[in-house]
Amino acid sequence: MPADQLLLEHHSQNAQWRKEGENGKYEEFKEEWFTQPLNHFSPEHANTTFEQRYWVNSRHYKAGGPVIILDGGETSGEDRLPFLDTGIVDILAKATHGLGIVLEHRYYGKSIPVQNFSTDALRFLNNAQSLQDSAQFISNFQWEGVGLSGSKNGTKWIYYGGSYAGARAAHMRVLYPNIVWGSIASSAVTHAAIDYWEYNEAIRLTANQTCIRLLVSSVEYIDTLLSSHVPFVSRNLKALFGLDALDTEDFASVLSEPLGYVQMQNWDHPSGSGGSEGDPDGEGVSLWSRFCGILGEGNGVRSKWAWVRRRAATHNYAKWIKEEIVSNCADGNVTRCFGTSDASKYRSTDLQHTWRAWVWQVCNEWGYFIGAPPDPLYPRIVSKYLTLDYTSQICRQAFPDGQWARVPEWPNVTAVNVLGDYNLAEDRLAFVDGDEDPWRPATPHSWHATPRRDSIVRPFKIIHSAVHHYDENGLRDHSKEPKRIQTIHEQEVKFVKSWLEMA
């Protein structure tokens, strides 16, 4: 799978978050720096350090209040500043007279401890090192000369994270209970999986079913033609999509890109790929909704003949791919833009290739290679040619063996799952999920997990008609948020206040 597609489908979602920090909107929050060891666990690197970036919202703070810390996760911390300003951090800080913080993750944004992203340079990017960064920060943090550590003066720290950072929030509560008083794990992927075919299955089960039926029919038709073993049939099909120069696997990969639009939806229109909720002009229409609209347009889709509907939907699918995706290929060379056979295109280790950091984590500990279901009897919304071997090939292509490090044959997902997996639980640890989130199958709300009871001590919340960490955003005027978002925010304030009253 191309690295850009892997990033689109995963929870980094750089395109989703507003970049307003770059135009000065968030000047209230100054860059601050905390010195961290490059390697927390080896004396040979004891004197090698880097500066970890963070931002503070002190507008609501009163002495004795808690600290609400948001884990920046696998993107620049600047992308999280909306949550410090009007989102979940500000909401909780205001309700508790707390101090709000966004902490940038090592190897992301400006918290980069190395000169390049080579295999050897990336060896200090793993779960253990990054969790210890957070523990070190919490244990030694001072604000305006006053120590606010979670263990020295009784300040209570509430740790929040969404998606990958949501799993980290849960892990921090379990691994460091003496310094993290409570955690909110939103869309927390506590289950790591090598073959994460459930991503697309969750979309198939929860997205607009008219759209899904058309997509299933189109994919079935496309795979039938690709499997015909008649060269001109396959070539003509690819040409319809503007992708006749691609091999079959790369062609199938490009066709799966619209599924990433599901995760990009957000009730807060400026934060996502468009959405009617939170859009004051009422003009926002998500990319996913637009794609589904194109897929179903035309009289052929309403025909009583299934084959006519299928062919019409496939032609509409091709129109979307050609106009919305292939057209973005700058020089028109689709092999250069979308082909994956040339491993050299993934070998540059310059720091500008920021995608390498998350893909390194995927290849080493998290997995989440997203392709077709393993059982051919499952209805498919992606081609059967999206195999595990294909979707994982980026690991072999991007990271040749170094002198001190190498990527394992398959990600060591046990390093994640040993911390609790679907059953990870602790007092003052909340799980919040969306019922239409493609990542829900990797969370404690998964259909693979044991059902739980929701309580103040162990909140277990599901947001209806919601996708990926929908509780993280907030509007300056909270009365203008959708009712279900107001409700989850009220519930979070309620249980966090209750936690803070516990001895």
The confidence score (pLDDT) of residue 296 equals: 87
Tokens of 283: 């003009």
Judge whether 158 lies within some domain: yes
Strand pairing of 367-369 and 193-195? Answer: parallel
Strand pairing of 367-369 and 182-186? Answer: unpaired
Judge whether 14 lies within some domain: no
Strand pairing of 142-143 and 146-147? Answer: antiparallel
pLDDT (average), residues 326-351: 94
- Whether 438 shows a pLDDT value over 60: the answer reads yes
Q: What number of other Cβ atoms are within 10 A of residue 357's Cβ?
A: 21
Cα distance between residue 97 and residue 378, in whole Å? 51
The string of DSSP letters for 355-400 reads HHHHHHHIIIIIEEE----SSTTS--SS-TT--HHHHTHHHHHH--
Judge whether 6 lies within some domain: no
Dump pLDDT digits (tens) for 95-153.
999 999 999 999 999 999 999 999 999 999 999 999 999 999 999 999 887 778 766 67
Is-catalytic flag, 303?
A: no
Strand pairing of 67-71 and 99-103? Answer: parallel
CATH of the domain at 189: 3.40.50.1820
Query: Which alpha helices (H) appear in 321-362, and where do they start and end?
Result: 334-338, 355-361
Q: Degrees (nearest 5) of the Cα angle 409, 187, 55?
A: 95
The confidence score (pLDDT) of residue 284 equals: 46
pTM attached to this predicted model: 0.93
131 and 90 within one domain: yes
Q: What percent of the chain has pLDDT over 90?
A: 82
Last residue of a domain, one of 398, 423, 450: 398
Name residues whose C-beta falls within 8 Å of residue 438's C-beta, 6 or more positions apart in sequence.
9, 199, 200, 202, 203, 259, 262, 263, 467, 468
Q: Are 426 and 176 in contact (CB under 8 A)?
A: no
248 and 234 within one domain: yes
pLDDT bracket for residue 25 (50, 70, 90): confident
Cα distance between residue 382 and residue 220, in whole Å? 9
pLDDT (average), residues 54-78: 96
Three-state secondary structure readout of 405-450: CCCCCCCCCHHHHCCCHHHCCCCCEEEEEECCCCCHHHCCCCCCCC
313 and 229 within one domain: yes
Judge whether 65 lies within some domain: yes
145 and 227 within one domain: no
- Whether 275 shows a pLDDT value over 50: the answer reads no
Q: What number of other Cβ atoms are within 10 A of residue 313's Cβ?
A: 26
Dump pLDDT digits (tens) for 220-237.
999 999 999 888 999 999
The confidence score (pLDDT) of residue 108 equals: 98
Cα distance between residue 218 and residue 244, in whole Å? 18
420 and 295 within one domain: no
Catalytic-labelled residue, pool 90, 433, 437, 471: 437
Question: Among 254-258, 303-307, 363-367, 377-381, which stretch is predicted with the lowest mean pLDDT?
Answer: 303-307
Name residues whose C-beta falls within 8 Å of residue 467's C-beta, 6 or more positions apart in sequence.
262, 263, 265, 266, 434, 436, 437, 438
Last residue of a domain, one of 348, 368, 398: 398
Last residue of a domain, one of 363, 398, 433: 398
pLDDT bracket for residue 44 (50, 70, 90): confident
Q: Considering its fold, how many domains does the chain have in total? A: 2
Cα distance between residue 492 and residue 472, in whole Å? 11
The confidence score (pLDDT) of residue 15 equals: 33
37 and 181 within one domain: yes
- Whether 217 shows a pLDDT value over 90: the answer reads yes
Is-catalytic flag, 163?
A: yes
Dump pLDDT digits (tens) for 319-330.
999 999 999 998
Question: Among 137-146, 174-183, 425-434, which stretch is predicted with the lowest mean pLDDT?
Answer: 137-146
Judge whether 351 lies within some domain: yes
The confidence score (pLDDT) of residue 454 equals: 98
The confidence score (pLDDT) of residue 145 equals: 73
Question: Among 2-11, 191-200, 213-222, 232-241, which stretch is predicted with the lowest mean pLDDT?
Answer: 2-11
Q: Are 70 and 97 in contact (CB under 8 A)?
A: no
Residue whose token pair is 């079959």: 248
347 and 426 within one domain: no
390 and 424 within one domain: no
The domain of 374 spans 194-398
Dump pLDDT digits (tens) for 455-478.
999 999 999 999 999 999 999 999
263 and 227 within one domain: yes
Judge whether 2 lies within some domain: no
Judge whether 8 lies within some domain: no
HSE toward the beta carbon, residue 351, CA cutoff 13 A: 11
The confidence score (pLDDT) of residue 305 equals: 65
Dump pLDDT digits (tens) for 487-499.
999 999 999 999 9
Residue whose token pair is 């750089």: 14
249 and 178 within one domain: no
The confidence score (pLDDT) of residue 229 equals: 82
- Whether 34 shows a pLDDT value over 50: the answer reads yes
pLDDT (average), residues 80-99: 97
The confidence score (pLDDT) of residue 10 equals: 40
Catalytic-labelled residue, pool 163, 271, 289, 392: 163
The three-state secondary structure class of 102 is strand
- Whether 374 shows a pLDDT value over 50: the answer reads yes
- Whether 298 shows a pLDDT value over 70: the answer reads no
Q: Are 296 and 320 in contact (CB under 8 A)?
A: no
Name residues whose C-beta falls within 8 Å of residue 43's C-beta, 6 or more positions apart in sequence.
none
Which residue from 32, 28, 48 is spatially nearest to 40, judged by alpha carbons? 48
Average pLDDT, the chain: 90
380 and 424 within one domain: no
Helices first, then strands: H and E counts in the chain: 18, 12
Judge whether 476 lies within some domain: yes
Which residue from 472, 469, 468, 464 is spatially nearest to 489, judged by alpha carbons? 472
209 and 78 within one domain: no
- Whether 279 shows a pLDDT value over 60: the answer reads no
- Whether 5 shows a pLDDT value over 60: the answer reads no
Which residue from 211, 213, 243, 212 is spatially nearest to 226, judged by alpha carbons? 243
Cα distance between residue 155 and residue 500, in whole Å? 10
HSE toward the beta carbon, residue 107, CA cutoff 13 A: 26
